[in-house]
Amino acid sequence: MFHVIRNASKVYSQVDNEKLFSQDTYDFLALLVALIGVLGLCTNSLVLILYCRFKTLRTPTNLLLVNLSFSDFVFSIFGVSFIFASCVSRQWIWDKEVCVFVGLCENLLGCVSVFTLTVVAYERYLRVVFDKVVDFPWSWKAITFIWLCSMAWSTLPLMEWNRYILEPHGLDCSLDRVSTEMSQSSFILLSSLACFVAPLSIMIYCYGYILYSIRM
């Protein structure tokens, strides 16, 4: 699994000498990534602090939002920092294990964010359409389910069903989306359906029905 990352690192080290992007582009990307990271750290840490400090904010619904902020906060630390260093260096400067770690973290946290937004939409749907208020056990069960599903989808590539490799631009690592092997492309298809298409469809239905109910 790791030989692909090793070869990719060599390839993009050579590409860097040919300047895949201009120096201004790398500087702009570094600045943009830094701004996103700082903004993510500040806003999400504020949400976490407010939730812990004020008891009136400790509601089952806000607990779901805290889970979303927590995943974004962690991503601002692990995901952004490695990408920023790569932008400054104009190439991936870490070894293969770090590449897999970064790809795993980004995939995991991305799934957590998407699934949490889906659960929030469903919770709003229950509240508005059926006048049902969820409690803390419901929220904790939902959060547990979110993390278990996210860990399942993000760890499957470690079992050689797809893999985490260096991206073509050489600044970040993610799933192998360019492989033509059926075993690799099938994971991309299924994970896209399970982690993007299905959650998006649920959110559209929930918020769409909420708007429909309000207008009725």
Spatial distance between the Cα atoms of 103 and 165, rounded to a whole number of angstroms? 8
Spatial distance between the Cα atoms of 121 and 111, rounded to a whole number of angstroms? 15
Identify the pLDDT of residue 23.
83
As a whole number of angstroms, the longest Cα–Cα distance in the chain is 62
Distance linking the first and last C-alpha atoms of the chain: 55
Q: Name residue 150's amino acid.
A: S
Spatial contact of 125 and 209, defined as CB atoms under 8 Å apart: yes
Where exactly are the structural domains of the chain? Answer: 2-215
Tens-digit pLDDT profile for residues 133-184: 999 999 999 999 999 999 999 999 999 899 999 988 889 999 998 888 888 8
Identify the pLDDT of residue 4.
41
Instruction: Check pLDDT > 70 for residue 19.
Output: no
Spatial contact of 92 and 9, defined as CB atoms under 8 Å apart: yes
Tens-digit pLDDT profile for residues 88-128: 988 888 888 999 999 999 999 999 999 999 999 999 999 99
CATH code linked to domain 2-215: 1.20.1070.10
Average pLDDT over residues 18-43: 88
**Alpha carbon 32 to chain centroid distance?**
18
Supply the pTM of this predicted model.
Answer: 0.87
Tens-digit pLDDT profile for residues 135-149: 999 999 999 999 999
Average pLDDT over residues 54-78: 94
With a pLDDT cut of 70, the percent of the chain lying above it is 91
Identify the pLDDT of residue 24.
86
